[in-house]
Amino acid sequence: MKRFTIGRTAKAAGVNVETVRFYERRGLIEQPARPAGGRPREYDSGTVARIRFIRQAQDIGFSLREITELLSLRADPGADCADVRARAIEKREEVSARLERLSRMRDALDLLIARCPGGGDLRCCTILEAMEGNAGAGDSASFGTATTARKGKSEMKTTTMTIKGMHCDGCARTVEALLDRVPGVRKAEASFDAHQARVLHDQAEAPEADLVAAVAKGGFEAAVERP
Amino acid sequence: MKRFTIGRTAKAAGVNVETVRFYERRGLIEQPARPAGGRPREYDSGTVARIRFIRQAQDIGFSLREITELLSLRADPGADCADVRARAIEKREEVSARLERLSRMRDALDLLIARCPGGGDLRCCTILEAMEGNAGAGDSASFGTATTARKGKSEMKTTTMTIKGMHCDGCARTVEALLDRVPGVRKAEASFDAHQARVLHDQAEAPEADLVAAVAKGGFEAAVERP
DNA sequence: CTTGACTCCGTACCTTGGTACGGAGCGCAC
DNA sequence: GTGCGCTCCGTACCAAGGTACGGAGTCAAG
């Protein structure tokens, strides 16, 4: 069996030297006896494998303590095999539970991802919404957008814009949301088929340039249509 | 909007008071201004929702730092849903990888249990051996790529990559978001039609391998195109 | 025979995600 | 006017899992 210094062992296992020593102190790996003459300790490929296993197990979510237990599952000649077996079964249960939990996590993420339109404004970001948790639980405002009703003379007007970059109805909804959030916009409707948006807005508070800019923030290109 | 004391907020969100304060210190939630007269600060249901969001996100595997980012994305009116989605997808890949390894570990334990009962055959009675025995799925790399301190002057370069696995424009947006988040990337454009991504990046800070890896995190396959 | 690259060992320090503690103040109820 | 229950604030502490640092020794090359 090949022999390594601690440095090479660490490198081979993808950890650093301090970590190897740390594992030794923790009893996760055995510290090889020091050869006579003050020469460096010699590690072998078994140690490397062991360290790799430790990292794998950690990555999966086991703590070092649990990993110690996993590693100690072995049948020493003479050891009580029934005991090993019992512990292995116990561990298997733990692993199963963990699997289930992780798998639920993945499902949750899948659901989030599937429902997300994948682009556009955060207003319609279903991921954030969903994570807000608890069945929508009303409110969920918290995104600012303080629809302050400003005073002053208002000159309402309807503007039609041609929008480039909408790929689906979801995009149209996004455009609407973007427009809705411009202060001074009373109503916004976007159509994917027509590649257009119609906006009822206060000309003073929400000039056309603001509308175009708002839409641009979502990655769309807007041009005001003049009849 | 209803107002709560910190205690009621904590209770409503299912955490304890110290935790609320801890999140405040971490900047995860905002500390409301203290009303004049030394009366207690007033929290609202938005804060409760936010805390719930934090816990949900933690539950699916996000760290507080990642959650901070998610939350700041939410607050950023210019932020793109694709970015949020990309993060979710990345997380999902992480979770998936873990699931796979975990399930291999369970298989290994099964093997261990199956071989152990008689007490006779002592070979293959450690998980290490059991895992080796049924390893199969090589992989296990996942360690390398140790973002070693890359020094040197920056050399900007445009790299074109062929991307497999994009199904729609939303996917292209996702790929862009994944690439954008690699440090050293100045600009990323992905085209669904061309099955390509073009990236302007600093060769030293963001080597091609990093780009490929970033895209892979979203479950896409990338190959650098050499002219 | 010096220099650099290691090893060895101990101790100190870091990050994450919180908990706990202690003194001070406020409002209310009795 | 004295508790009780709460808030406020700072600081300390916890467990896990490392990382970093400093002084000393060893070895091989130049």
The complex scores an ipTM of: 0.68
Contact check, Cβ <8 Å, A125/B84? yes
Structure tokens given for A122: 């955060």
Vertex A27, ends A24 and A30: CA angle to 5°? 60
- The confidence score (pLDDT) of residue B54 equals 93
C-alpha–C-alpha distance, residues A159 and B18, integer Å: 51
Tell me which nucleotides of strand C come within 7 A of a protein CB. 6-10, 16-21, 25-27
Q: In the predicted model, what is the mean pLDDT of chain B?
A: 78
Mean pLDDT across the stretch A3-10? Answer: 92
Does the structure show a pLDDT above 80 at B1? no
Mean pLDDT across the stretch A103-124? Answer: 67
pLDDT band at residue B227, thresholds of 50, 70 and 90?
A: confident
| Residue A26 and residue A34 in contact, taking contact as beta carbons nearer than 8 Å | no
Mean pLDDT across the stretch B71-91? Answer: 76
Contact check, Cβ <8 Å, B98/A49? no
Contact check, Cβ <8 Å, B60/A105? yes
The percent of residues above 70 in pLDDT, for chain A, comes to 70
pLDDT tens for B179-190 read: 888 888 888 889
pLDDT greater at residue B62 or residue A10: A10
Select B3-75's CATH number: 3.10.20.30, 1.10.540.10, 1.10.1660.10, 3.40.50.2300: 1.10.1660.10
pLDDT greater at residue A193 or residue B72: B72
Interface test with A, best of B60, B81, B91, B131 (most A CBs within 10 A): B81
Provide residues 50-79 of A with CB closer than 7 Å to any strand D atom: 54, 58, 63-65
Does the structure show a pLDDT above 50 at B151? no
Architecture, CATH, for domain A156-224: 2-Layer Sandwich (3.30)
The 3-state DSSP class for residue A41 equals: coil
Is any atom of nucleic acid chain C found less than 7 Å from the CB of residue B153? no
- The confidence score (pLDDT) of residue B168 equals 64
Is any atom of nucleic acid chain D found less than 7 Å from the CB of residue A18? yes
Q: Find the CB nearest B61 among A89, A105, A118.
A: A105
Residues of B whose CB is below 8 A from A144: 75
DSSP line for A80-130: -HHHHHHHHHHHHHHHHHHHHHHHHHHHHHHHHHHHS-SSS-GGG-HHHHH
pLDDT band at residue A79, thresholds of 50, 70 and 90?
A: low
- The confidence score (pLDDT) of residue B48 equals 93
CB atoms within 10 A of CB A178: 29
Interface test with B, best of A60, A83, A174 (most B CBs within 10 A): A60
Question: What's the Å distance between residue B10 CA and nucleotide C26 C1'?
Answer: 20
The 3-state DSSP class for residue B100 equals: helix
**Highest mean pLDDT pick, A143-157, B87-101, B123-137:** B87-101
**A36: closest CA of chain B, how far (Å):** 31
Largest Cα separation within chain A, whole Å, is: 95
Q: In terms of CA atoms, which chain A residue is nearest residue B96?
A: A106
A:B CB pairs within 8 Å: 187
**Burial (CB count within 10 angstroms: exposed 0-12, middle 13-18, buried 19+), residue B97:** middle
pLDDT band at residue B85, thresholds of 50, 70 and 90?
A: confident
Q: Report the CATH fold assignment for A3-72.
A: Multidrug-efflux Transporter Regulator; Chain: A; Domain 2 (1.10.1660)
Does the structure show a pLDDT above 50 at B178? yes
Q: Find the CB nearest B116 among A84, A125, A218.
A: A84
Tell me which nucleotides of strand D come within 7 A of a protein CB. 6-9, 16-21, 25-27
C-alpha–C-alpha distance, residues B22 and B17, integer Å: 9
Contact check, Cβ <8 Å, A73/B126? yes
The 3-state DSSP class for residue B112 equals: helix
Does the structure show a pLDDT above 50 at A152? no
Is any atom of nucleic acid chain D found less than 7 Å from the CB of residue B64? no
Provide residues 106-165 of A with CB closer than 7 Å to any strand C atom: none
pLDDT band at residue B220, thresholds of 50, 70 and 90?
A: confident
Contact check, Cβ <8 Å, A50/B88? no
Q: Do domains B3-75 and B156-224 have the same CATH topology?
A: no
Interface test with B, best of A128, A168, A182 (most B CBs within 10 A): A128
pLDDT greater at residue B209 or residue B155: B209
**Domain residue extents for chain B:** 3-75, 81-134, 156-224
pLDDT band at residue A171, thresholds of 50, 70 and 90?
A: low
Question: What's the Å distance between residue B34 CA and nucleotide C10 C1'?
Answer: 49
Residue A205 is inside which H or E element, if any? none
- The confidence score (pLDDT) of residue B26 equals 93
Mean pLDDT across the stretch B90-97? Answer: 82
Mean pLDDT across the stretch A33-48? Answer: 88
Is any atom of nucleic acid chain C found less than 7 Å from the CB of residue B126? no
